[in-house]
A and B are shown apart, each in its own frame.
Chain A
Amino acid sequence: MRKIVPSYLAGVILGAIGFIAGSQFVTHFIGAGNAVDGINFDEQGLVIGFIGLLLGWLIGIGAFKYPFTWLLAMKDPDHEEEMRLAGKDGGIGRYFRFTTDHKVVGIQYLVVTMFMLALGGLGAMLIRTELIQPGAKAFPTGTYNTIVSMHGMIMILAVISFFIGPFGNFIVPIMIGARDMAFPRLNALSFALLVPGLVIFMFTPFLGLVIMNGQGGGVQTGWTVYGTLADQTGVGMTSFAAGVFVIGASSIMGAVNLITTVMTMRAPGMTWTRLPMTVWGIFGAALLAAIGTGAFAADLLLILLDRIYKTSFFYVAVGGDAVGAGGGNSWLSQNLFWFFGHPEVYLIVLPAFGIVIDILVVFGRKPLFGYKTAVLGIMGVVVLSFLVWAHHEFVSGWAPEARPIYMATTEMISIPTGLIFLVALGTLWRGRLWMTTAMLFALSFIWNFLIGGLTGVFLSDVPADVQLHGGMFVTAHFHYTIVGGALMGFFAAVYFWFPKMTGRMMDEKLGKIHFWGTQIGFNVAFLAMFYAGLQGMPRRVADYAPQFAGANLVTSIFAFVLAAAILVFAYNVIASWVAGEKAVANPWGAKSLEWLVPTPVPLENFEEIPVVTSGPYDYGEPAGSGTQIPASGGQVAG
């Protein structure tokens, strides 16, 4: 019994019991006959069921043990008990339970976010299958809309997590010379919430199928879930909103933990101006997550209240009036969403900025060009990203007098972004480049994100946006920033830190196949999509006019090339993890702290806390001037 409770198995069982008990509680104890008039009784039952699922899961995995130990003033856990909770002598089982070691949590995030990417990628392939030819032949249009909505949101959730989760957890504490995150239990809890949030979210396509006779179900809103649409769409919206709300809570917890860790857990000598760029990027992203996610959480909460309790936040009058009879307003949801939605793009990309710069330095074998400029660029993006959201509403009819302001702020954000590019190119200049797969992906980030960024400048321009807003040009631009930017950064990060995280090297030959397949597949697919957009093809449609057939065929074919390349990556990850060449502690000859600890990394990372006497980018400097870690706890002169 001791081995079963707490465990993930117990969490799954109690979660299922909690869901059934929660939803049945509404049915049997309240009863439809006693429901207040107008309340959506079925969806209320679903939400109570989801709360039961969450509570059951958290009880099963043991997440409540410490809070109640504290509440009852029982004996505080000693160091040995803390180490057991962190997975000491836990073997592989520590990856399947509530474990506090930041490295275990990082690996858990890595696996789950890759699973989410696979699910979102499957959605992408279904979309491209539908769009191979005009005619909406593969799916009913309602089902297609659900696939588009699910693809969009699960990809966003995955890419929000895939830097902060795996690398923010595994790498950042070691990079700053800490033994763990500031709040290890909160860290484990943030991952523990991601899993049930994902399960709740995945209810979406299956809810409402019976009600709608198999014609769609799920959600029809797209990933932006504008309140007016969300109020009207199928019952799947309830699980969609509830699942994303839970994952948002997980994201906020992770962000608070990371911010506190970087602010309070740095090793002696690890000053703010010695932090690696990866830390800056992830720190900036955590700030954005902590501030921006609340807006989307509020939006989702109001959607749920509108749907279930018939509140009047977004309900509008029939006939196109933006203000409803009950006082609801359609623009409220758009503003709440985009106040989160646009910083969220930078939340995704900022860690990639930092990671790519670090990789360019390591494989360019040169000191970083313009440390303070890079920091200024990253933090400049953080600040400006909260001042640009309304450019997504240029064609919504809201506040046309504000358009010039948001056009200006949006164009301004290209300045700090440009600083990042300047630093990247300055670092590469006259470097002796070591073309590993990680380096190739880092270089491809520069090229692809440049296209994403430049096309974004067009879209920030009101006259151009009015013309292009509803079309495939926007879809192509967005994918150039998220896939071309963030996903390439993610691949670079995986190839770079895989040896440290798993103790194995990834296969470089397979890596090169993955790289070229990805670049060719992605660029041809989305350049063709730009073409379709410029020709006037609308986005989010299952059917289209025949003149767009050629561009769509090209996009679909090369999307499948991209998918095949990513399957090579998946095989490489699994095969290398199981039987790859064993990695030495520092296979790249890098200088930041994570490469100076043994592989596999010991439970508490450092036997003694390092004393840092210089920055992590001193390539080409005389011997003895690098970042220093003493063997015996004393400070080594720089």
Chain B
Amino acid sequence: MASSIPASGHAASHGDQVDHEFKLRRGMLFYVLTDVIFVIFLLASYVWLRSYHADGWFPDGTKLPDQQMTYILTGLCVLSAVFYFIGFMGIRAGNKATLTICSAVATVLAIAALSGQIRFMGNLPFTTADGSFASTYIMLSGYHIYHLLLGTFLGIGVTNRALRGRYSSDKTSGLSAIGYYWYWMALMPVLVTLMLLLLPPNA
């Protein structure tokens, strides 16, 4: 039968048995997955209400939000994710400057999308009380603001740490995990735009 474990001895670190980068990636993947599921239920609510829509789904006279601005804000998010990816690939190739510049650009783009989104929501042509289309549109756009806030926090952190030389080709702790979040942050407005605007509300 097994021998017992020594009662005292060296104090090993918590994590010398695991691959930390793998653990971080896996953890972030599951966190993003739970967020995706939450958003799926919000989108499902939209589909559900739409499938049952009566006269009040999109009342006559209600204006659509500014589509051009929606595309611009979505584009900013996608571009931000592209820069983040380039920065990540750069540091993996050993280029610290690429990471620093690209993460800074990605963060600035996220901040621009955030401020644009807030301003955009303040000028919508409808209010929360204008039926289910307005309700779902504002709810999904509002949740996107939460994503951008968290993304901005992470982006500032990555940029700051990159500036201070905390990353190298063999030390990319957490960058790929944050990347998962960043790509999801860019994908969500694409999904929302596709569903809410490109599928016409009265189709």
The answer on A and B forming one complex is: yes
Contacts of A332 in B (CB 8 A): 45, 48-49
Selected contact of A179 from candidates B12, B30, B138, CB within 8 Å: B12
Selected contact of B5 from candidates A178, A298, A629, CB within 8 Å: A629
Q: Are B49 and A631 in contact (CB under 8 A)?
A: no
Of the listed stretches B82-90, B123-131, B183-191, chain A binds B123-131
Contacts of B1 in A (CB 8 A): 623-624, 626
Chain A residues 569 to 594 lying within 8 A of chain B, measured CB to CB, are 585
Counting chain A residues whose Cβ lies within 8 A of the other chain, the interface size class is 35 or more
What separation, in Å, do the CA atoms of A332 and B160 have in the docked complex?
44
Selected contact of A328 from candidates B7, B18, B30, B49, CB within 8 Å: B49
Q: Are B37 and A291 in contact (CB under 8 A)?
A: yes
Q: Does B202 contact A (CB under 8 A)?
A: no
What separation, in Å, do the CA atoms of A324 and B56 have in the docked complex?
8
Contacts of B14 in A (CB 8 A): 82, 179-180, 184, 604
Selected contact of B27 from candidates A67, A183, A636, CB within 8 Å: A183
What separation, in Å, do the CA atoms of A23 and B134 have in the docked complex?
27
Q: Are B131 and A290 in contact (CB under 8 A)?
A: no
Q: Are B23 and A631 in contact (CB under 8 A)?
A: no
Of the listed stretches A121-129, A263-271, A345-353, chain B binds A263-271
| B157 to A, closest residue via Cβ | A71
Contacts of B6 in A (CB 8 A): 607-608, 631
Selected contact of A302 from candidates B7, B8, B45, B130, CB within 8 Å: B45
Q: Are A178 and B4 in contact (CB under 8 A)?
A: no
Contacts of B27 in A (CB 8 A): 182-183, 186, 256-257, 260
Chain B residues 110 to 167 lying within 8 A of chain A, measured CB to CB, are 127-136, 138-139, 153, 156-157, 160-161, 163-164, 166
Q: Does B31 contact A (CB under 8 A)?
A: yes
Cβ of A386 to closest chain B Cβ, rounded Å: 11
Q: Does A323 contact B (CB under 8 A)?
A: yes
Cβ of A43 to closest chain B Cβ, rounded Å: 14
Known: A73-B164, A332-B48. A327 touches B57 (CB 8 A): yes
Q: Are B49 and A327 in contact (CB under 8 A)?
A: yes
Q: Does B71 contact A (CB under 8 A)?
A: no
Cβ of B121 to closest chain A Cβ, rounded Å: 12
Per-residue A-contact encoding for B1-23, CB less than 8 Å = 1, 0 else: 11111111111111111110011
Cβ of A448 to closest chain B Cβ, rounded Å: 32
Q: Does A539 contact B (CB under 8 A)?
A: no
Q: Are A264 and B19 in contact (CB under 8 A)?
A: yes
Contacts of B156 in A (CB 8 A): 71
A-B CB contacts (within 8 Å), total count: 199
Q: Are B8 and A311 in contact (CB under 8 A)?
A: no
Selected contact of B132 from candidates A39, A83, A179, A328, CB within 8 Å: A328
Q: Are B127 and A608 in contact (CB under 8 A)?
A: no
| B53 to A, closest residue via Cβ | A327
Q: Does B197 contact A (CB under 8 A)?
A: no
Cβ of A214 to closest chain B Cβ, rounded Å: 32
Of the listed stretches A404-412, A516-524, A595-603, chain B binds A595-603
Per-residue B-contact encoding for A226-244, CB less than 8 Å = 1, 0 else: 0000000000000000000
Contacts of B163 in A (CB 8 A): 73
Contacts of B18 in A (CB 8 A): 182, 264-265
Q: Does B54 contact A (CB under 8 A)?
A: yes
Cβ of A188 to closest chain B Cβ, rounded Å: 14
Q: Does B34 contact A (CB under 8 A)?
A: yes
| A299 to B, closest residue via Cβ | B41
Q: Are B4 and A596 in contact (CB under 8 A)?
A: yes
Selected contact of A290 from candidates B15, B34, B45, CB within 8 Å: B34
Q: Are B135 and A628 in contact (CB under 8 A)?
A: no
Per-residue B-contact encoding for A176-209, CB less than 8 Å = 1, 0 else: 0111101110100000000000000000000000
What separation, in Å, do the CA atoms of A293 and B31 have in the docked complex?
13
What separation, in Å, do the CA atoms of A255 and B30 have in the docked complex?
9
Q: Are A607 and B10 in contact (CB under 8 A)?
A: yes
Known: A79-B11, A636-B2. A178 touches B17 (CB 8 A): yes
What separation, in Å, do the CA atoms of A603 and B52 have in the docked complex?
57
Q: Are A311 and B12 in contact (CB under 8 A)?
A: no
Most buried by A among B9, B133, B138: B9
Cβ of B57 to closest chain A Cβ, rounded Å: 5
Q: Are B166 and A73 in contact (CB under 8 A)?
A: yes
Q: Are A325 and B132 in contact (CB under 8 A)?
A: no
Q: Are A73 and B157 in contact (CB under 8 A)?
A: yes
Contacts of A624 in B (CB 8 A): 1
| B143 to A, closest residue via Cβ | A301
Known: A182-B23, A298-B45, A336-B45. A310 touches B132 (CB 8 A): no
Cβ of B66 to closest chain A Cβ, rounded Å: 20
Chain B residues 28 to 78 lying within 8 A of chain A, measured CB to CB, are 30-31, 33-34, 37-38, 40-42, 45, 48-49, 52-57
Q: Are A606 and B5 in contact (CB under 8 A)?
A: yes
| A180 to B, closest residue via Cβ | B14
What separation, in Å, do the CA atoms of A329 and B12 have in the docked complex?
57
Known: A298-B38, A328-B132. A72 touches B57 (CB 8 A): no
| B6 to A, closest residue via Cβ | A607
Q: Does A313 contact B (CB under 8 A)?
A: yes
| A178 to B, closest residue via Cβ | B17
What separation, in Å, do the CA atoms of A442 and B27 have in the docked complex?
33
Q: Does A428 contact B (CB under 8 A)?
A: no
What separation, in Å, do the CA atoms of A79 and B11 have in the docked complex?
9
Q: Does A305 contact B (CB under 8 A)?
A: yes
| A179 to B, closest residue via Cβ | B14
Q: Are B42 and A598 in contact (CB under 8 A)?
A: no
Contacts of B134 in A (CB 8 A): 311-312
Selected contact of A36 from candidates B3, B49, B127, CB within 8 Å: B127
Q: Are B34 and A71 in contact (CB under 8 A)?
A: no
Starting from the known contacts A71-B160, A313-B49, A628-B2, 12 additional A-B residue pairs (CB-CB under 8 Å) come to A38-B127, A73-B164, A177-B17, A180-B14, A298-B41, A311-B128, A311-B139, A598-B7, A607-B6, A607-B12, A627-B2, A628-B3
Q: List 10 A-B contacts (CB under 8 A).
A: A71-B160, A252-B34, A256-B34, A264-B23, A294-B37, A305-B139, A311-B132, A325-B56, A329-B52, A609-B16
A contact set with B: CB distance below 8 Å? 36-39, 67, 70-73, 79, 82-83, 177-180, 182-184, 186, 252, 255-257, 259-260, 263-265, 267-268, 290-291, 293-295, 297-298, 301-302, 305, 309-313, 322-329, 331-332, 335-336, 339, 585, 596-598, 602-604, 606-610, 623-624, 626-631, 636
Closest 10 CB pairs of A and B: A327-B132, A311-B135, A294-B38, A298-B41, A309-B128, A607-B9, A294-B37, A310-B129, A71-B157, A260-B27
